[in-house]
Amino acid sequence: MSSGLYKILGLSQNASDKEIKAAYRRLAKKYHPDVNQNDPKVAAKFQEITAAYDILSDKEKRSQYDSGQIDDQGNQRSPFGAGSGGFGSGGSTSGNPFADAGFDYGGSGGFSTEDIFSSIFGGMGGKRSSYSRSTQHESHSKGADKSFTLKISFLDAALGCVKQINIGGSKPVSLKIPAGTKNNDKLRLKGKGEPGHRGAGQPGDAIIEIMVASHPYFIREDLNIRLDLPLTVYEAALGAKVTIPTIHGKLSVKIPPGSQSGQSLRLKGKGIEKSSDQKGDQIVKLQIMLPEKKDKNFDALMEKIQKESPYEVRKDF
């Protein structure tokens, strides 16, 4: 059983889901780039924490990780070592294992399968013709598709981006990721799979499965983005102007006086934009928070308000 991701979050391997979530929130708050600007080491640490949480918070991925089926990056572990199916994998350079092993498979100066069968079926007319047609069809068959996995950030998936990826060739290729890409979506790169049979058929395609990392603040709901916004009691009671993050950048928002915990504000067009007529909103859900530490002055003020201006909240109970 691998334990690297648990160590990143400072947990034991038998940690509960609640403990994993609490550890992530604590570390994400400490190492978030907005709190530690212009510090590449802290930014790298934050990415490492987020990647660990992305796997351990998913029951299926955690089970695969604990059993050794996937590694710390979420990639499948191959029982045969390096090979096709992962970025930068090796394998046959020509797509023909016989040619790579030094055999001249039907080329000049060597033997040809057609020569052999011509000798055997030369006097049998139709049988040789039938073989020729089948081998001709086989020689032009399309190559197999190859599957890969690519992990991207929440914002890259929401806003769209272009990634340079290595799928086994000498040069990276560009992969356009559309805005609004979801977890487990599959993108296709035409002609980047296995070569056609004996080099004559069309090459297969590369199928890229996208894995989207979670975000410490944002939650995706179709094309909408939800943000849980903590407020102090006096911000909720008196109203306030607060600066909040959106996937498009920071924005100043007015909190109406008398706001209640659980109420939502809708920011039109600040969600995911797949096209000009497919735009989501940002939903800001208000959460009124009491002081974390015991405060005598705060308690005294609450007692005074309770005596001078009492009010009920459970009339319908």
pLDDT tens, N- to C-terminus, the chain (317 residues): 567 899 999 999 899 999 999 999 889 888 877 777 677 788 788 888 988 898 999 888 898 888 888 888 888 875 544 444 444 333 444 444 433 434 333 343 444 444 444 444 444 444 444 444 444 444 468 888 999 999 999 999 999 999 999 887 768 899 999 999 999 999 999 988 888 876 678 889 999 999 999 999 999 999 999 999 999 999 999 999 999 999 999 999 999 999 999 999 999 999 999 888 899 999 999 999 988 888 888 889 889 988 998 878 777 76
- What pLDDT is stored for residue 133 in this prediction? 47
- Amino acid 197: pLDDT: 76
Predicted model pTM:
0.54
Nearest to 43 by CA among 33, 29, 58, 56: 33
Indicate the Cα dihedral angle 224, 26, 28, 33, nearest 10°: 120
What domains can you pick out in the chain, each with its CATH number?
Answer: 1-77 (1.10.287.110), 82-107+140-216 (2.60.260.20), 113-137 (no CATH), 218-308 (2.60.260.20)
Q: What is the DSSP string of 42-86?
A: HHHHHHHHHHHHHHHTSHHHHHHHHTTSB-TTSPBPPTT-S-TTS
Which H or E run contains 238? Answer: helix 233-238
Task: Report pLDDT for 205.
Answer: 92
pLDDT at residue number 317: 65
pLDDT score, position 72: 85
pLDDT of residue 78: 59
264-267 β-sheet, strand order: 218-221, 224-231, 282-288, 264-267
Query: Which structure tokens are listed for 279?
Result: 């735009």
Q: Distance between CA atoms of 178 and 185, rounded to whole angstroms? A: 11
Separation of CA 161 from chain center: 13
